[in-house]
Amino acid sequence: MMKKSSAMPASPLFRLDGLDILVVDDDSAACLVNEKILSRHGASVQTASSGARALKLFAERHHPVVITDICMPGMDGIELVAHLRQQDSNVQVIAATAVYDTERLISAVQLGFNDYIIKPVESEKLLWAVKRGQDAVLGRKKLEEEQIKFHTVVECLGEGIAIKDLDYRILYQNRAITEIFGDRTGSACYEIFDLTDPCRDCPTIKALKDGQTHTARRHYHRNGIIFHIESTASLLRDSRGAVSGTVEIIRDINERIRNEQTIRDMAFHDPLTGLANRRLYEDRLEQAIATSHRYGMKFGLMYLDLDHFKAVNDTLGHEAGDLLLVEAAERIRTCCRRDLDTICRHGGDEFCIIFNDCGDKERLTAIAEKLLEHFSQPFQLADSLVEVTTSIGISIFPDNSSVMKELQIASDRAMYAAKKAGRNTYRFWEPYAQHYPQLPIVAKP
């Protein structure tokens, strides 16, 4: 009969996979025990029997976690930790000691140890100490990554960012500010404008006075040209919550206008077709409902879904599918009033149209038939000529509903009724027809 292994299974609480650990102890048996415990939980462990050997191994590998005995001949653990800190101030060092002396342990922490364990080492206490060290390493690494991301983002911004101390001196400025003003690090912010004192209505002074965020517009002369900027100042606080300075965002107003337009287009328009996206569509639909309520008008909501669009993607590829969507959007545009109606790519191959001040069924019918006529013409996709029709569902406010969600569901279900009728046709929402499911009850706001 085989004898069962006495090794304890690794606990899922302590996942040390890939963690480099250096164990330092002049007692080889203690090194071996620690190595077995830590290796069983996935750590990569090196051992050293002296402080001098540990320093050599650390110089080669820079282990993020080091466990060292305090009392060793030659270089003891306290001297070792001082040398380790010189090489890497962030290394997590755990003291192992056979003497439970509170004052000595406190002194050890003050001298550079991050944690301690009492010898003989208990497996779980060792693992908890290493786990705390691992968490600190991962936390620091994450913080460093976030700092790198922050610095990268800040340096790429078109807006200037300056961090100032309580004397208004610039501690940091990003690339955008350097391009505008040159390197003014160490100078007082008002010196940028050739002033000897803080300027009137300075947002930094206001922010320091009341703790609020303040914005101001100002101008300055450079090479005979007047530049207009807008700056916003907010407080900076340290880890204890005390005000340590301010951060100021500086914008070239003309550039901001251009950037805002670009951002607005990206935020509210579909990048492929240039049509309104779902966000803008829902906003416009809310506006249409509010306006119609106010003035007692009707409007139409039309949903279009391209018939057999998936077959185009599957046979000709997504690039051809994108070309089809762009051309479909253009055909829809030709049937709408560009200054009044809102056309939206609702997602995939589905489009929505809000016909403001157009709730007449005959007019909506004429538009739907015109759309079907435009889609009856084949699409030229690179070297292929493809026939793709559309199915259309129509609802009318407030005849079908005065609630936005219900109105959307009505158009959507009418569109599926058009597909069920054979595609390449349109249907109005008719709540009492047998082929339409009833709308859900949606509470009015």
Give a yes or no: residue 9 inside a domain: no
| β-bridge mates for residue 227, sequence order | 220
Do 246 and 232 contact (CB within 8 A), yes or no?
A: no
Q: Within 118-252, where are the H helices?
A: 123-156, 175-181, 203-210
Please indicate whether residue 215 or residue 6 has the higher confidence score (pLDDT). Answer: 215
Give a yes or no: residue 442 inside a domain: no
Whether residue 49 sits in one domain with residue 128? yes
DSSP SS3 for 343 = strand
Whether residue 361 sits in one domain with residue 217? no
DSSP SS3 for 254 = helix
Whether residue 294 sits in one domain with residue 405? yes
Whether residue 177 sits in one domain with residue 122? no
Q: Tell me, what CATH number does 71's domain have?
A: 3.40.50.2300
In terms of residue numbers, what domain contains 225? 157-255
Whether residue 141 sits in one domain with residue 60? yes
Window from 313-317, 320-324, 335-339, 431-435 with minimum mean pLDDT: 431-435
DSSP SS3 for 225 = strand
Q: How many CA atoms lie within 13 A of 340 on its CB side?
A: 9
Whether residue 136 sits in one domain with residue 50? yes
Give a yes or no: residue 25 inside a domain: yes
Number of domains in the chain: 3
Look at residues 415, 400, 263, 260 and name the one whose alpha carbon lies nearest to residue 346. Answer: 415
Whether residue 79 sits in one domain with residue 128? yes
> What is the mean pLDDT of the segment spanning 164-170?
91
Q: Tell me, what CATH number does 368's domain have?
A: 3.30.70.270
Give a yes or no: residue 263 inside a domain: no
What's the pLDDT at 181? 81
What's the pLDDT at 431? 72
Q: What confidence tens digit (pLDDT) does each residue in 276-300 have? A: 999 999 999 999 999 999 999 999 9
Whether residue 390 sits in one domain with residue 284? yes
Residue 415 belongs to what H/E stretch?
A: helix 404-420
Window from 63-67, 203-207, 410-414, 421-425 with minimum mean pLDDT: 203-207
Residue 427 belongs to what H/E stretch?
A: strand 426-428
Give a yes or no: residue 11 inside a domain: no
Which of the listed ranges 107-116, 228-237, 301-310 does the model predict with the highest average pLDDT? 301-310
Q: Tell me, what CATH number does 222's domain have?
A: 3.30.450.20
Whether residue 353 sits in one domain with residue 320? yes
> What is the mean pLDDT of the segment spanning 155-176?
88
